[in-house]
Amino acid sequence: MERPTRSLLPLRSCAALFFLALLATPPARALTGVDTLKIPPTARDVSMGGVLAMSAGAESLFYNPAGIGNLLRPALSLTHTQLYEGVRLDAMSLAYPLAEGWGRLGLSLMAMSMTALEARDEQGLPGGSFNAMDTVMGLSWAGELRHGLEGRGRFGVTLKRVEQRIADATAAGYALDLGAQSNFSAAPRVHLGASVQNLGPAMKFSEESFSQPLTMSLGAGYLAGDALLIQCGLSHRPNDKRTTVGAGAELWLGRAVALRSGYMQLARAAGASAQTQTQNPLSGLGFGAGWRPIKSGLRIDYAFAPGNTDLGAVHRITLGVEFGRGRESSSGPGLAAAHRMNRDNFWRVQSPWEGD
């Protein structure tokens, strides 16, 4: 009679995250800032429909810290994104497995910068130039929890320092991310994830204050066969009254090449005008590919988002590498393909890695 109770642990963890987020949600403000926290920086996650609660590996530190909970080796990820009109977004994340029973540590850094902008005085006359930059630094920890014979849950937390600088004005603050992911004994091919991002107090530029973009996300993934991953999810930003849904797929070919595609759609933005609600059908599309040389810890991911006709396309490139011997798997070497997602990190490179 004990196992059914234990099997509910991951569902309770996901529900607890959202209950905590609702309790901590501040009164809605007319203005939310730190746009860097609203832009997914990594190639693989964007190309698969932005199902951020299901992110895994070092890149998950930007969305759901639970995603590093079953890494067996240190992992480093570097991403460059060229956005619009001279704006660029760069991200770095590092995950490191500690000794058995101590979980995993993660460090992350994200910076959005732009070319110098022309300044104007109160009369609208040119007055030199100025720079603007957002930086987000995070320290994460994730642990693992076994439930049942095959099921495994992961949970994580990230403490972030957020800074936004425009010319000589600076706003700084702190935020918390919480996350959980799990699969189940009864359905080892199914994974669930939940995350709450940017729990923190308002930030202030001089006398103007703004909320951080609190985000709550749910996701689910299904492994069809040994090489096809399908996932879907939704995200809600209560301070912006904005909800998005997304879905995507990843197919591995020849154990070294991955093809990815996804779509993310704005489901609801309360209080927006009809014109604002209209979304260019191309703006939610994402396409991507990944390459991992056989018997190598290196991985290169690319994502292409068509965007809309006014702002143009967006390209992302992520370089990932796992190094060192790392921790031995506690799952054993003779697992069936359907259960191998407990080893290393299936959601990122599982299918190609097994059997190399």
303 pLDDT band (50/70/90 cuts)?
very high
pLDDT of residue 317: 94
Average pLDDT of span 8-26: 47
The listed range with the strongest mean pLDDT (30-39, 80-89, 255-264) is: 255-264
pLDDT of residue 194: 95
- pLDDT higher than threshold 60 for residue 205: yes
- pLDDT higher than threshold 70 for residue 312: no
Residue-wise pLDDT tens digits, 27-82 = 444 456 778 888 889 999 999 998 999 998 899 999 999 999 888 889 999 999 88
pLDDT of residue 119: 57
Residues 6+ apart with CB under 8 A from 101: none
Please give the model's pTM, rounded to 2 decimal places. 0.80
What letter would DSSP give residue 327?
P
With H, G, I as helix, E, B as strand and everything else as coil, classify residue 68: helix
Q: Which two tokens stand for residue 31?
A: 């203005």
Q: What angle do CA 24, 27, 33 make, to 5 degrees?
A: 90
Average pLDDT of span 312-329: 78
Residue-wise pLDDT tens digits, 234-253 = 999 988 888 999 999 999 88
Question: Which residue is listed with tokens 């059914």?
Answer: 4
CA distance 10 to 155: 9
Given the candidates 1.10.10.10, 1.25.40.10, 1.10.1740.10, 2.40.160.40, the CATH classification of the domain at 2-353 is 2.40.160.40
- pLDDT higher than threshold 70 for residue 277: no
The dihedrals phi and psi of 16, each to the nearest 5 degrees, come to -65, -35
pLDDT of residue 335: 39
- pLDDT higher than threshold 50 for residue 347: no
pLDDT of residue 126: 59
Q: Which residues partner with 101 through β-bridges?
A: none
What letter would DSSP give residue 86?
T
Average pLDDT of span 186-200: 88
Q: Decide if 249 contacts 263 (C-beta within 8 A).
A: no
Across all residues in the chain, what is the average pLDDT?
Answer: 77
Percent of the chain with pLDDT over 90: 34
Higher-confidence position of 272 and 337 = 272
- pLDDT higher than threshold 70 for residue 342: no
Q: Which two tokens stand for residue 162?
A: 């957020």
88 pLDDT band (50/70/90 cuts)?
confident
pLDDT of residue 224: 85
- pLDDT higher than threshold 90 for residue 208: no
